[in-house]
Chains A and B, each alone.
Chain A
Amino acid sequence: MSTNKDYKWVGTSPIRPDGADKVTGKAAFGADKNLPGMLHGKILRSPYGHAKIKSIDTSAAESAPGVLAVMTSKDLPDLASEMGEAGESAVDFRDLSQNILAAGKVLYHGHAVAAVAATSPKLAKQALKLIKVEYEELPVVLEIEDAMADDAPILHENQFTPGGSQDKPSNIAGKMKLPRGDIEKGFAEADVIVEREFTTPTVHQGYIEPHAVTASMSASGHADVWCCTQGAFVVRAMTAKVLNMDVGKVKVTPSEIGGGFGAKTTVYLEPIAVKLSEMSGRPVKMVMDREEVLRATGPTSASVIKIKLGATNDGKLVAAEGTLKYGAGAYKGSPMGPGCMCVFASYEIPNFVVRGFDVVLNKPKVAAYRAPGAPMAAFAMESVMNEMAGKLDLDPIDFRLENAVKEGSVAAYGPKFPAIGFVETLKAAKEHPHYSAPLGKNQGRGVGTGFWFNIGMQSSATLNVNESGSVTLITGSADIGGSRASMALFAAEELGIDYDLITPLVSNTEEAGYCDVTGGSRTTFATGMAVVKASKNLVANMKKRAAKTWGVEVDEVLWQDGQAVPPFSSGKNPMSMAEIAASAAKTGGPLTASASLTAQGAGAGFGVHICDVEVDPETGKTDVIRYTAIQDAGKAIHPAYVEGQYQGGAAQGIGWALNEEYVYNDKGVLQNFGFLDYRMPVANDLPMIDTVIVEVPNPAHPYGVRGVGETPIVPPLAAVAEAVNNAAGVRITDLPISPPRLLAEIDAK
């Protein structure tokens, strides 16, 4: 397989092509786009967690100074319920529209109700105060099990549980069941059974850049949209749908993006900005503040997960049962499905059943967050695996090795695994010096593992050869963490020219070929595949040009080190890419090559994390003191950025485990709506995060690539919890392990 090949560029970590602009402040992010004559849009948001909108009077706002447009949901077309693609998951466009501007009801505190465009942000804010909304407050439901109860306040009168009563509306929007074998027989065979229930809180992706858009509607009916997004094409599709426009009339130019982690694969502001621009005839800029981001953009689901696991005394898993309840927020569509598919995916278990529930609540609609649905499932399953290993007196890694999926195993969610690297990753963890390092007083160690499918989807790439032989590489895949560098490395390797000769661009929806979102850990895999394919097309073309120049057959020409090499018999000298480019006009015109594909065979990713903590038994405070992330990358194209994905995912998972949570009051009002009290890890909360890149090539990719971005957030929750268990002598089942909660656990033991 390709991984052992001697590559010149692939597998090196050069400086990213967009780096200089990012360290000098020149790079333009979402809020950095300004246009002449631009207005500023602001949104009026619901002060209630759940209420009927009885009336909205915008007349005073419309006549306020500096105001050029005011809109409500009445200004959006009434869409029928229709499912469509939303990044890596599905969305009901009707829900999407009503989440953008509430129609009839507000479903969470912060739900958008109206929008204003004015000549300054200040005037727009002042005008919001003049909009009179009459509400009828309704009871809120914030907890999953409360929302599932028969007498729960109902969010949607037209929502019925599939397979359930079609007369009585329900907050249970979806159900799933994945069975295998006979669990009764399986549990009967078990020598040891562990059963526990786990909860995880609502947490936010926490990207530092708030959502921002500038939109300009032309009198010709063409909309120009600049925004920070993980997928310009998905913004185009959603904006067009919500405004009932043809996608061809919407041009989306992605800015640099200041973090997304899945959450910038949907739209909140874009259709509003376009509509306000249409209404006012002026460009409109809208930038959320941090409070809006936390109150009204998608966090990820809170969960309640029950796991029952049976094993024999010799450490073989024989049966498992999982019940996964995920909160979707105000509209259906939690990542319950992937959670159910992931929960047992890492192990060979002959008998299991998984049941999932998608539950709506009076919280913002969730959005994708790095391996959506998997971290909470893994927290539950891996915690039970750790407890089971203890009961069986087995080393936790040995216990996992005994049951780990490998090539040929049938995954819990259906397909048979091709070559995967879980066993190799577990072994690398066991051999890592961290795993056997001594621990001090009040310190403990835990391991957790994680699985994520990774996805393929659609990508395109275009290479334009300049007359000097340098290359412009165009894709439509947002670069959220260094992917331009990886794309350039693929092209440099394939073309045999220097990395520095390639200028990789992320272009807009009218100039780049279609690319799905940068999400699902797909960009290096799938867009990289398109780059490789386009590069191969280009090489074929350049060989043709050289053959023509030399008067030889094209199949006699070789491509080596960026040169066309003629057959020895021709007596000609090799032609460099620069020479071929310089003579392109005479050999058939400009040299360009493109490739588009739907990438198949995204290789599953497995990670194993080792975490050491120290607990202050008097205060319940936990410090992470050592951390190692080990993961199969298939092939690391730019190893430094692969490490960065492992480290960043680990840090987010540590935050999820220890301190991050949405705190609501009983009226459904979020109490911690800033970075002060939504406590993400700061620099001195974390140690260095060691990494080990395991490389078990993905057979479906020309360089063996597997997605690496999402898996790293899956293992930390259980790894941290187990480390705390071992340090403090407790058994954590509820996150976050905040000091008050841990101190209560310590007291209770």
Chain B
Amino acid sequence: MSKAHVTTTINGDVVEYLCEPDQSMLEVLRDNLELTGTKEGCATGDCGACSVSLDGRLVCSCLVLGVEAEGKQIETIEGIADGSELHPIQQKFLENAALQCGICTPGFIVATKALLAKNPDPTEEEARYFLAGNLCRCTGYDKIIRAVLDAAAEMRGAAS
């Protein structure tokens, strides 16, 4: 069978692509669309490096087929900043030294955005539970959790 034609919206842009029906959304993003900010750490849904938002729902893009994106809204790490202005979550990750190697960072930031949309004032425990699907091997999570809580506080402040 030939490739499937998919029309979807990625980071606000209407995007059309052709993909094999068994290609994952992660492969489509990285290989077909050159959106390489979304990372592959395992391709089995166990590390969260490929986290994206699909119709507002946090998912591992390795566990979604490219064809399933038809008519949906996808947000990736490339869509988090407002132009050249960093999102408060990105800024707080930098200020808190919450990345060492940086490979897990895009997934963490996408996941954190989903967390704070759902729960603007998470406790440390809630943040750790929500982000348990994002593996980081460098930081021991301490500075990541601090950045998340710091970003939450900043975003609540900006919202009030």
Interface residues of A (CB under 8 A from B): 13, 15-16, 18-20, 22-29, 31-32, 34, 122, 205-210, 256-261, 287, 289-290, 480-482, 638, 640-641, 643-644, 647-652, 674-676, 680-686, 688-689
Chain B 37-70 near chain A by CB (<8 Å), digits 1 or 0: 1111111101101000000000000000000000
Alpha-carbon distance A19/B80, docked complex (angstroms): 15
6 further interface pairs, Cβ-Cβ under 8 Å (given A25-B106, A651-B139): A19-B93, A20-B86, A208-B104, A480-B100, A643-B142, A674-B44
Q: How far is the CB of B100 from chain A (nearest CB, A)?
A: 4
Question: Looking across the interface, which residue of chain A has its beta carbon closest to that of B92?
Answer: A23
Contact A29 B103 (CB under 8 A): yes
Q: How far is the CB of B157 from chain A (nearest CB, A)?
A: 20
Contact A209 B47 (CB under 8 A): no
Alpha-carbon distance A206/B104, docked complex (angstroms): 12
Q: Is B81 interfacial (CB 8 A cutoff)?
A: yes
Chain B residues, CB < 8 A from A650: 140
Contact B101 A683 (CB under 8 A): no
Contact of B143 among A260, A640, A652, A681 (CB under 8 A): A640
Alpha-carbon distance A640/B20, docked complex (angstroms): 45
Alpha-carbon distance A18/B100, docked complex (angstroms): 11
Q: Which residues from 9 to 38 on chain B have a C-beta closer than 8 Å to any C-beta of chain A?
A: 20, 30, 34-38
Contact A680 B139 (CB under 8 A): no
Chain A residues, CB < 8 A from B106: 23, 25
Alpha-carbon distance A257/B103, docked complex (angstroms): 8
**Residues of B within 8 A of A (CB-CB), count:** 58
Question: Looking across the interface, which residue of chain B has its beta carbon closest to that of A206?
Answer: B137
Q: How far is the CB of A671 from chain B (nearest CB, A)?
A: 15
Q: A25-B36, A208-B104, A481-B101 are in contact. Are A648 and B137 (CB under 8 A)?
A: yes
Contact B140 A689 (CB under 8 A): yes
Chain A residues, CB < 8 A from B44: 290, 674-676
Contact of B36 among A32, A206, A647, A688 (CB under 8 A): A32
Question: Looking across the interface, which residue of chain A has its beta carbon closest to that of B80?
Answer: A24
Alpha-carbon distance A684/B115, docked complex (angstroms): 15
Chain B residues, CB < 8 A from A652: 137
Chain A residues, CB < 8 A from B77: 24-25
Q: Which residues from 74 to 106 on chain B have a C-beta closer than 8 Å to any C-beta of chain A?
A: 76-78, 80-81, 86, 90, 93-97, 99-106
Q: A20-B86, A675-B46 are in contact. Are A686 and B37 (CB under 8 A)?
A: no
Q: Is B133 interfacial (CB 8 A cutoff)?
A: yes
Alpha-carbon distance A481/B104, docked complex (angstroms): 13
Chain B residues, CB < 8 A from A680: 135, 137
Interface residues of B (CB under 8 A from A): 20, 30, 34-44, 46-47, 49, 76-78, 80-81, 86, 90, 93-97, 99-106, 109, 124-125, 127-129, 131-146
Chain A residues, CB < 8 A from B30: 31-32
Contact B94 A16 (CB under 8 A): yes
- Select the residue from B20, B44, B49 with max chain A CB neighbours within 10 A: B44
Chain A residues, CB < 8 A from B96: 640
Q: How far is the CB of A141 from chain B (nearest CB, A)?
A: 30
Contact A482 B145 (CB under 8 A): no
Contact A644 B97 (CB under 8 A): yes
Alpha-carbon distance A258/B135, docked complex (angstroms): 12
Question: Looking across the interface, which residue of chain A has its beta carbon closest to that of B79?
Answer: A25
Contact of A651 among B78, B133, B140 (CB under 8 A): B140
Q: A208-B47, A210-B40, A482-B97 are in contact. Are A22 and B137 (CB under 8 A)?
A: no
Q: How far is the CB of B35 from chain A (nearest CB, A)?
A: 8
Contact B99 A23 (CB under 8 A): yes
Contact of A23 among B42, B86, B138 (CB under 8 A): B86
Contact of B37 among A26, A289, A648 (CB under 8 A): A26
Alpha-carbon distance A287/B42, docked complex (angstroms): 12
Q: How far is the CB of B155 from chain A (nearest CB, A)?
A: 16
Q: Which 10 A-B pairs have the closest CB atoms?
A: A25-B37, A258-B103, A651-B140, A647-B140, A22-B102, A25-B77, A640-B97, A675-B46, A481-B100, A684-B128
Chain B residues, CB < 8 A from A640: 96-97, 143
Contact A259 B101 (CB under 8 A): yes
Contact A208 B49 (CB under 8 A): yes
